Chains A and B, each alone.
Chain A
Amino acid sequence: MTRDDDSSRSGARSLGITPDDLDGHTIEELSAYLDAGRTPVDPSIEESAGCQLALQSMERLRGLSEELLKADEAAESAVANDDRWISRILDSIAIDARAGRRIPIGHEDPAADLGITEGAVRGIVRSAESDVHGVIVGRCRLTGDLTVPGEPITVVVDASVLWGENLPEAASRLRAAVLERLSAHTDLNIAAVDVTIHDIHRLPGAEDES
């Protein structure tokens, strides 16, 4: 490794990245050492002032990368209100792709072939949120043997509740609303509705009351 003499009077010399400054180590070594989380500890790197400077500089850059991404994001923020741009995506997705499994529904007439898709059941479950103040429904899972008519089905629902609402009460009201809606619209044998509140949301502009 040769010393870059030209650099000794300019930036690189004082910046300490020539091999002499790095006590025989190279930037490539230091770069890989940094990415390995500085383990296993290499005393010849850790005890070299030059290497420490170079590592600090690389870490500073790493620290800036998060800020850089935030700035890049902010620079593109207008797209969030560009309905035409957003619609181009929404218009390209296949909404019916989420029908899921078909759940047969029993009927006196064995020749009748009735069923409802999982997607439709989930849609009904989501609609129950409008019966309970401050609740937003997330993912919904149906468990049980969905292929046999009349088999008990358990509905597992994620939900988010508005800050300040009583959580157990909101969960129990959502549970009741889901049951009511499912029995009104389907003949499914619902064994249980399990509601898990995963999040507490605040309305935009709401004061932090905590």
Chain B
Amino acid sequence: MSEVTTSRRAFIGISATAAAATAGFVALAPGVKLMDLAQAHADSKGASSKVRWGMLIDTTKCATGCSDCVSACARENAIEPGSGRPAQSSQWIRKIELKEKKGGHRELSLPMLCQHCANPPCVDVCPTGASFQRADGIVLVDRHICIGCRYCVMACPYQARSFVHEPLHNQNPEVPRGQGCVESCTLCVHRVDKGESPACVESCTHQAMLFGDLNNPQSEIAQRVATVASSQIRADLRLDPGVRYQGI
């Protein structure tokens, strides 16, 4: 009997200590919470639905054989070639070379990346909601709840998603990635939130890539989209991609 009593007392004691510790974790002093201190960006405004980030790519300026945007993306997001087959490595942006089937005279070169659709099929099919869209239109993967089912890779019409096939090393702390999860171009959201442009856009020496807010009539991108002919890839699917192409 006494043993039971002792262990019960011990249990209550431990529980009380744990409760106190939890309370201490939550509230250090009236109005000062440990959680608040832990938030790196407590004052972050978050994404605004008034903004629609997008890109305009001028294929008449994009040079065949140039892959500066691809290299810049890899550097910025610490994407290294994997140890397996090339098709097992992640490619957030790739250069596609096009040749018209009939005639064959028309040749184009352009970068292909996540199109940050307004109606993204990857978000629709994701069972856990890991694929999501920010209010400003950027489509991202929540690496904490991605279970690696790859349904979004199946659903993306642009083949813009990659599955991480092996352990990763030398990651950029601002761009967390993870083995067994799916990933794609984040539009360099970590840079955009600091007021910078995506790394690929900044690296393009041919000025073929323009980044900005499609919703802001004063922005260069909105004005260019309003004045020059541009198109969306697979516009027939009506996904309303945020990336537009000029000269196709």
Whether A and B are associated in the same complex: the answer reads no
B contacts, CB < 8 Å to A: none
